[in-house]
């Protein structure tokens, strides 16, 4: 009996064994004489320490085309490969909080092994339409500009759009800090295409602000193979899904940067020899993006709210990748370089930003104040060309009032960040949404028409402006 079991085991291993027949950089072709592995199955290369291949295509002659998750240096033809008969699985659970892992769930922070008792596959079907529950609760971030113009909907998707150096990552880090300190929210951070410096800075910032123990970090770095970066969001989503299903609470999933995910997909498409679409990106871009976005939802078990930083190449919002991402988002936050140059942080353009929330969710006071503020800011923008040519002195009295209030609003929406205290020596501020609406309402009503707009720069609630005025008087 024992001998029969041993024979069966050997036969099963033989059935799952293939050999490498071609190596083209990150692409490896493997021949399986008996059974072909399924698409997305993980293959383990023998005689090579921790080298995983992922099946991407079935070829003729009983061959599969795979992408290597790690460098293929040292591989040679004929090396045996074992089909694991399953997709890549990663550890999940509270053991990952406070740790930095790679796409395999392996620690890369030099803090010892992760002894998680459970593992979950990174490839699963998204919840069915019947399982998805619409959310109507707002998650407060404590950041005035965001809570007022583009509030976060629990279970929704929020995108931070902007070019290099306008503050996307800083804003993401601040939201992690505020939601953790104020609401005790657990977060998962996916660094897609992170540079080593950026990953180190993030770790240090979260550690110094005492929120690291509530965040699981998954990094797929720029120096790694495209397959690693391409699968990093799936690893992060798998970890977030576990927290959602087990804790029943809202989980925040941060992806920085989702554009790098599309970029990694384009690299993979190129090395696989696929013909790109007429826009230059891979023809499968929308389906690859949908595979990720459709798993970020609220169910009866809990909710995953996603905050995604999106790099805008050359500040060109008409880029096909940027347009593809737009269609999946509930709220759009546009960070503008011109506003950043004025030292207004966050450098958010309120007129270019948008949210799908209506009066029923926001409440009457917030909705009415928001519409009035947008009206004032739009009028100010339309007058800027006239002001640049003729000066404010040529405006009518009513327009002078509008310009004055718009300037005060712009300065009021600047705010000192907790995660930037070491650079600014200015203590961070958390402002409730009600206080923000109240402050905007007071400015619009003319209560501070006689006050210099600099009084409203880098403050928290409107009461701080009143304190400044008392000190000046």
Per-residue confidence (pLDDT) for residue 2, from 0 to 100 = 44
Per DSSP, the residues of 203-260 read HHHHHHTT-GGGEEEEEEETTS-HHHHHHHHHHHHHHHHHHHHHH-SEEEEEEETHHH
Instruction: Compute the average pLDDT of residues 26-49.
Output: 89
Distance, in Å, from the CA atom of 203 to the CA atom of 206, rounded to the nearest integer, reads 5
On the question of pLDDT at 114 being above 60, the answer is yes
Q: Please, which pLDDT band fits residue 283 given cuts at 50, 70 and 90?
A: confident
* Residue 53 three-state SS: strand
Per-residue confidence (pLDDT) for residue 473, from 0 to 100 = 64
The structural domains of the chain, with segments of one domain joined by +, span: 13-87, 90-357, 364-467
CATH class of domain segment(s) 90-357: alpha beta
Catalytic residues, by residue number, are 168, 194-195
Instruction: Compute the average pLDDT of residues 88-116.
Output: 91
Per-residue confidence (pLDDT) for residue 7, from 0 to 100 = 56
Fold of 13-87: Thrombin, subunit H (2.40.10)
Per-residue confidence (pLDDT) for residue 6, from 0 to 100 = 55
On the question of pLDDT at 451 being above 90, the answer is no
Share of the chain above pLDDT 70, in %: 97
Per-residue confidence (pLDDT) for residue 279, from 0 to 100 = 76
Q: Please, which pLDDT band fits residue 138 given cuts at 50, 70 and 90?
A: confident
Model pLDDT for residues 191-215, shown as the tens digit of each residue: 998 777 778 888 888 888 888 899 9
Q: Please, which pLDDT band fits residue 10 given cuts at 50, 70 and 90?
A: low
Model pLDDT for residues 48-81, shown as the tens digit of each residue: 677 899 999 999 889 999 999 888 888 889 999 9
Share of the chain above pLDDT 90, in %: 40
Indicate the CATH number for domain 364-467.
1.10.1140.10
Predicted TM-score (pTM) of this structure: 0.89
Per DSSP, the residues of 121-154 read ES--PPPPTTT-----PEEP-S-HHHHHHSPEET
């Amino acid at each position: 009996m024992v001998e029969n079991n041993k024979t069966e085991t050997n036969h099963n291993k033989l059935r799952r064994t293939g050999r490498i027949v071609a190596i083209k950089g990150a692409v490896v072709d493997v021949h399986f004489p008996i059974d072909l592995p399924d698409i997305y199955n993980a293959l383990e290369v023998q005689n090579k320490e921790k080298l995983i291949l992922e099946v991407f295509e079935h070829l003729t002659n009983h061959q599969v085309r795979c992408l290597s998750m790690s460098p293929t240096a040292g591989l040679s033809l004929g090396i045996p490969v074992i089909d694991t008969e399953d997709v890549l699985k990663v550890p999940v659970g509270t053991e990952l909080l406070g740790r930095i892992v790679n796409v395999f769930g392996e620690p890369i922070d030099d803090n010892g092994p992760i002894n998680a008792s459970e593992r979950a596959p990174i490839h699963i079907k998204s919840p069915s339409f019947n399982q998805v529950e619409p959310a109507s609760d707002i998650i407060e971030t404590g950041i005035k500009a965001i809570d007022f113009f583009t509030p976060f909907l629990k279970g929704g998707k929020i995108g931070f759009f902007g070019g290099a150096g306008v503050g996307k990552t800083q804003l993401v880090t601040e939201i992690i800090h505020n939601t953790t300190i104020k609401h005790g929210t657990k977060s998962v951070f996916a660094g897609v295409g992170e540079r080593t410096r950026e990953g180190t800075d993030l770790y240090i910032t979260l550690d110094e602000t005492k929120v690291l123990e509530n965040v699981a970090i998954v990094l797929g770095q720029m120096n790694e193979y495209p397959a690693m970066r391409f699968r990093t969001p799936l690893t992060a989503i798998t970890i977030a899904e576990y927290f959602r299903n087990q804790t029943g609470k809202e989980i925040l999933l941060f992806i920085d940067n989702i554009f790098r995910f599309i970029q990694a997909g384009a690299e993979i498409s190129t090395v696989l020899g696929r013909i790109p679409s007429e826009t230059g990106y891979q023809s499968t871009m929308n389906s690859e993006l949908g595979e990720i976005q459709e798993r970020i939802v609220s169910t009866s078990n809990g909710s995953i709210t996603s905050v995604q930083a999106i790099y805008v190449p050359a500040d060109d919002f008409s880029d096909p990748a940027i347009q593809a991402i737009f269609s999946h988002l509930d709220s759009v936050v546009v960070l503008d370089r011109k506003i950043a140059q004025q030292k207004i942080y966050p450098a958010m353009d309120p007129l270019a930003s948008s949210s799908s929330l209506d009066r029923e969710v926001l409440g009457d006071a917030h909705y009415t104040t928001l519409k009035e503020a947008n009206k004032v800011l739009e009028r100010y923008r339309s007058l800027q060309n006239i002001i640049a040519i003729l000066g404010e002195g040529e405006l009518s009295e009513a327009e002078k009032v509008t310009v004055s209030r718009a300037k005060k609003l712009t300065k009021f929406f600047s705010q000192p960040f907790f995660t930037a205290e070491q650079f600014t020596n200015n203590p961070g501020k958390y402002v409730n949404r009600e206080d923000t609406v109240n402050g905007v309402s007071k400015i619009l009503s003319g209560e501070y028409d006689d006050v210099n707009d600099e009084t409203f720069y880098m403050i928290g609630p409107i009461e701080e402006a009143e304190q400044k005025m008392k000190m000046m008087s």
